[in-house]
A and B are shown apart, each in its own frame.
Chain A
Amino acid sequence: MNAMDWFCVFICPWRWTGRSAILSARRGVYLIKKSADSRALPRLAWRNLWRHRRRTWLLVLVVAYATLTIVLFWGINNGYSQSVMNGYARFLAAPVLISTQAHFADPDPAHGLASLDFLAQVAAQPGVLGVAPRLQFAGLIRSAYASSPAEARGVDPGLEARVSDIPAAIEQGRMLAGPGEIVLGRALAQELDVRLGERVVLDTSGLAGPQALGLLAVGLVDSGIVLVDRGLVMVHLEDARFLTGLGTATGVALEVRRGQEAQVAQALQPILPPGVRAYDLTVLLGGLYEALRTEAASTFLIGLIFSILAALAVTSTVLVSVLERTREFGMAIAIGLNPRRLAQLVTLETVFATGLGWVVGLALGYGLNFWMATHNVLGPLFTGFGGAFEIMAIGDQIYTAQSPLFALYAALTILLAAIFSILIPARRVLLLNPAEAMRAE
């Protein structure tokens, strides 16, 4: 095979045969050199990819794997963060909570709201979908067999379901119907050996001094969140008022659309009485929110490392390819192809291979992500870690999150691969000496 034949193998968009192939090759070179719209270069780069199918598929596989990993990585990370946020918003706190500044700093019923007169005005505010007063206090819950400290939440049974998922998480029995009743977590009920219909005693000490009430267990909650199932009880607001001696509430929980918490809380501040503030979920989460943000930043760094490694793997494969094709490149330059265009061709090949891998990776990654977003695959894995996750408001059901942004994060691999390709293999092509290159074995 002579040099022109080699060149044609490399560059001809059609199968080469003898003289016509050489003529066609010359025409191809001409096209590359002169094509104003540069359509020939991408076409040739694409065809070149399939001259070495095994190498191309290797490239595609590497990038697809990196893309799949990045998509899944972000899906799991965001899903986990959303589980924590949702747990706090719908079970442990509220999307927005109105309370006194003193109560926010020291959650004692003594720092409760002086009045609930502002409720109607708050409920009428745009963005507020539900309003429920709460009287939260620390207490001791006792059965005939054991006792356990618990966080008691006095609620209006008719309003609580609008701001919390706990009423919907009652697995056995029902929600409170009136005073004299209590709803407790299934794990707490097991710890106290309490069954539905049995009386438990709730002790506390508040403005009214030490007080206790015998309350009938009417519902058992199974939220999957340890802090709820083991440590939270719901009683009627009237009972909470009797026990604590506070005639109002310690806070008002608001339901707002997800993502609008801060905006709604900000809009409410001017209409609230002095010393009373609306706290959005990010403030209620406190240090945990900062921890989640830090985790998101570290996730981005890990994703970047994935992308860099994948891009380096692609670059090294392309470099090997360039080294193997040194003679071809030398001949191409010798017959008049501009080295800059040849370097562009190499870069384009890299971009096409990584792009193909990206598409394949996205299809697999989003498919897997969708499956994990609809099936509780992660829950058993996370709960397997036990106590480490007990302080988080996550239950035994964790699903991945879906976002088109993940595709963008994964596209970083293509960008990096293109940059590395320009820096290493394409630069090598650019610096080729045709005479030396044609002698290369």
Chain B
Amino acid sequence: MRPGVLLALVWVALGHAAASDPQAVLRAVVDSQRGGSLRATLTMEVVRPERTTRFVIEIASDGAERAIIWVRAPAREAGQAFLRIGESIQLYSPVLRRVLRLPPGGRGDSFLGSDLSYGDLAGRDLERDFTPRITAQTPTQITLELTPAPLAPTPYGRVVVLASRPDLALLQMTYYDQRGRAVRRLNFSRHLEVQGRQVPLQVEVEDLLRPGQRTNLVFSNYRFGVTIPEACFTIRALEVGC
């Protein structure tokens, strides 16, 4: 047997094994949306029945535990900055000209009035908090149902994850409450292949309990795999940038 054919067979066999192991599928789906280190501009549109607010945000992330966010527009919000290191979030207020540590009570507050909370910025590990189960798969899509692990810090009853096959690009996540009602949905689109991963460039967050409320996030000017200087993840960088 030629080595190329053998390699192809091994690849298919591994892919099949991953597709049948829910934990491996979930890990692959989560990995696919992480494009490693990143510098990008994020346009965040907060849609409310009475108005729509558009934010322009700059992001630098090491692709792991650290990220820094600067708000550039609108003028009323410009100058605000957020530094995440692990689960800790610090924010800079240009009005106060001070850096504040987000208290535990503030983690549930809305991030810039959007449908994302500061807790969402800190990130929650789907792999750590949930036990996955494959509920459906077609040649082009796979559906995972995630149920919370005991004592998992999630208020949701289950999360349904929809991913494409075979690249396992994340397409949709629907959060259900503990009474079986869908309360929140994230739609991922415009995937970009970065180092073999499918990174979504557009995310729509829908509040299913409040019709007409949603937040659209679109990445632009993105540069993946760049080296982010250590100086970017400092308090000083919140005020002066890096």
Contacts and interface: CB of A to CB of B under 8 A. Distances in A.
Contacts of B150: 180, 214
B156 interface: yes
Contacts of B109: 147
Interface string B194-233: 0000000000000001000000000000000000000000
Interface residues of B, number: 27
Given A139-B104, A140-B108, A142-B108, A210 B122 contact: yes
Instruction: Give chain B's interface secondary structure class.
Output: loop
Interface in B72-106: 86-88, 103-106
Contacts of B152: 214
A146 B107 CA distance: 12
Given A214-B148, A214-B151, A214-B153, A144 B175 contact: yes
A203 B107 CA distance: 8
Interface string A122-156: 00000000000000001110111111110000000
Interface string B129-166: 00000000000000000001011111111000000000
Contacts of A139: 104-105
Question: Does more than half of chain A's interface fall in helix, strand or loop, or is it mixed?
Answer: strand
B213 to A, nearest CB: 13
A215 B88 contact: no
B21 interface: no
A147 B108 contact: yes
29 contacts: A138-B105, A140-B104, A140-B107, A140-B108, A142-B155, A144-B175, A144-B177, A144-B178, A144-B183, A145-B177, A145-B183, A149-B104, A149-B105, A198-B178, A199-B154, A199-B178, A201-B154, A203-B119, A204-B104, A205-B88, A209-B86, A209-B87, A209-B88, A210-B87, A210-B88, A212-B153, A214-B148, A214-B154, A215-B151
Which 3 A/B pairs are nearest by Cβ-Cβ distance? A147-B108, A212-B153, A149-B105
Given A199-B154, A203-B107, A210-B122, 15 more contacts: A140-B105, A142-B108, A142-B119, A144-B155, A147-B107, A147-B117, A148-B108, A149-B105, A201-B154, A203-B153, A205-B103, A209-B87, A209-B88, A210-B86, A214-B152
